[in-house]
A = this chain, B = another copy of it.
Amino acid sequence: MKGIAADKLDANIRPLGQLEESFILATDAEGLLLIDQHAAHERVLFDKYRRLEESRRPESQNLLVPETFDLTPAQAASFGEVADELEWLGFSLTRLSGRTIAVRAVPADLPPAEARNLLAEILDTVDAEKRGRARETLRDEIAASLACHAAIKVNTALTREKMRWLIDRLLLTSSPTTCPHGRPAILRLTKRDIERGFQRP
């Protein structure tokens, strides 16, 4: 079982089912594929968020009732650093008095319940690392955080159609075999690996 290079993927990937409601089992011409549903969706979303910089058309969902968050002093100090990026990704944020912010909208893919943790995570990251870092790196990190919070989680049942959709979208990304953090999104077991396992010549 090993991660595979993207140039070995073809478009004829056929989902067979889910394992542990976390991994998609699929076949292609080379043998068996295992796809980490969370990692794969992270990759799809990350690529989408990075493309936003070019197209600048974020998708938002308005919250029925705006939520207010109280920031720590460090988070409040970081807020100005990333406010533009967050708006870009689909947040609508207003700074109220003191260290309180109001969230009126969140990115379309993000479960609203994840918004609080995601904002805290991003602000903490910025605080810890903001000195001397390139704007590109910051954007990547924010996009990766958002992708992680918005992606399908493990232990989630998927329909065959959803598996099909995820695989099709994954194949269109810049790097279908890795998640934005560089971990494998797809593992392959080749026909030869399997035949060897069964001691077939």
Interfacial residues, chain A to chain B (CB-CB below 8 A): 1-3, 16-17, 19-20, 23, 25, 27, 31-32, 34, 36, 39, 183-185, 187, 189, 191, 193-194, 197-200
B198 touches A36 (CB 8 A): yes
**Can you name 9 A-B pairs with beta carbons within 8 Å?**
A3-B197, A17-B27, A19-B27, A20-B194, A32-B34, A34-B197, A36-B200, A183-B199, A189-B189
Q: Looking at the complex, which one of B19, B27, B193, B200 makes contact with A32 (CB distance below 8 Å)?
A: B19
The smallest C-beta distance from A102 to any residue of chain B, in angstroms, reads 35
Bound CA–CA A48/B111 (angstroms): 56
Give the dominant DSSP class at A's interface.
Answer: strand
Residue of B nearest to A27 (CB): B19
Residue of B nearest to A196 (CB): B1
B25 touches A191 (CB 8 A): no
Bound CA–CA A39/B195 (angstroms): 12
Bound CA–CA A189/B20 (angstroms): 12
Q: Looking at the complex, which one of B23, B25, B39, B199 makes contact with A25 (CB distance below 8 Å)?
A: B25
Bound CA–CA A2/B194 (angstroms): 10
Residues of chain B within 8 A (CB-CB) of A25 are 16-17, 25, 32
